């Protein structure tokens, strides 16, 4: 029982990779246990959603038990034996955001901005958590990577909603005012985050190369916003977002490993 959304997988993997690549020291055992535990914890959402809809679903119960065992089997030795006890601090916000996501899905608000933002914030905790698990260090740099990930991956919420409104407006002109509002909102968000990252980099807080994926995302949303309403191939749009996620990881990885050297 696996999540089917490509974007969710990208959102899980990308922050973890950024955190691992940015870690100043690296414990392969601790990093491996964290990756396995994070993956298992992520997979818990699918059977939990199934059980909310069908409480007596035995298949979902079996998968939930398996994923829960993998999660506990990974994080217990990581926290108790290897001493990464600060990971406990991540469990509370991650659990609350998961609960909010499950509640929104159950009530039919799966694609609400709040639900999508909660999902992004929850998964982007993977960056500082991975940084800490790999290096046993939870300093400002770890949180900086989490903030960068959250800022970057919030962008597609606006961009994809704009694309959806372009698709809708091609069929129903009544959606044009909403489309125009989302065009401005998406451009403003991407422009402000790009400016913030440039200023942050100029102050020495993050590598200047971190601005590259933000600039690419800003250009992406401006170009789409300039298009006339038309039908959208959402599968291609999803794959494009995965490609932008890969660009973010590659650029951040090169910048972080280069700075470490």
Dist CA 94 CA 230 (whole Å): 38
State how far the Cα of 158 lies from the Cα of 55, in Å rounded to an integer: 34
pLDDT of residue 261: 47
CA angle 103, 93, 182 (to 5 degrees): 60
Q: What is the pTM of this model?
A: 0.89
pLDDT at 245: 94
> Cα(219)–Cα(247) distance, rounded to whole angstroms?
14
pLDDT score at 102: 77
Ranges of the chain with pLDDT below 50: 261
Q: Using one digit for the tens of pLDDT, what is the confidence trace for 213-249?
A: 999 999 999 999 999 999 999 889 988 999 999 999 9
Whole-angstrom distance, CA of residue 245 vs CA of residue 59: 33
Q: Which two structure tokens, joined as six digits, stand for 188? A: 């403003």
The pLDDT of residue 2: 65
Token pair recorded at residue 165: 């409104």
Give me 18's structure tokens: 């950024």
User: So what's the pLDDT on residue 259?
Assistant: 62
Spatial separation of the C-alpha atoms in residues 29 and 219, rounded to whole Å: 40
């Amino acid at each position: 029982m696996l999540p089917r959304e490509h974007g969710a997988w990208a959102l899980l993997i990308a922050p973890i990779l950024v955190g691992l690549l940015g870690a100043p020291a690296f414990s392969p055992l601790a990093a491996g246990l964290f990756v396995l535990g994070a993956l298992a914890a992520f997979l818990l959402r699918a059977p939990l959603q199934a059980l909310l809809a069908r409480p007596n679903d035995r298949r979902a119960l079996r998968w939930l038990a398996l994923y829960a065992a993998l999660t506990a089997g990974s994080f217990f030795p990581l926290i108790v034996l290897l001493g990464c006890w600060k990971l406990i601090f991540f469990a509370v916000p991650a659990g609350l955001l998961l609960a909010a996501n499950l509640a929104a899905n159950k009530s039919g608000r799966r694609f609400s901005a709040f639900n999508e933002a909660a999902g992004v914030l929850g998964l982007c905790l993977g960056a500082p958590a991975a940084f800490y698990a790999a290096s046993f260090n939870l300093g400002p740099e770890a949180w900086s990577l989490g903030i960068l990930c959250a800022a970057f991956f919030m962008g597609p919420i606006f961009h994809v909603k704009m694309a959806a409104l372009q698709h809708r407006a091609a069929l129903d002109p009544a959606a044009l005012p909403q489309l125009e509002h989302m065009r401005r909102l998406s451009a403003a968000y991407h422009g402000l985050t790009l400016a913030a990252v440039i200023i942050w980099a100029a102050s020495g807080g993050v590598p200047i190369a971190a601005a590259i994926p933000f600039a690419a995302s800003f250009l992406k949303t401006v170009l789409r916003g300039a298009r006339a309403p038309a039908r959208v191939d959402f599968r291609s749009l999803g794959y494009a977002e995965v490609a932008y996620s890969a660009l973010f990881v590659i650029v951040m990885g090169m910048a972080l490993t280069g700075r470490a050297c």
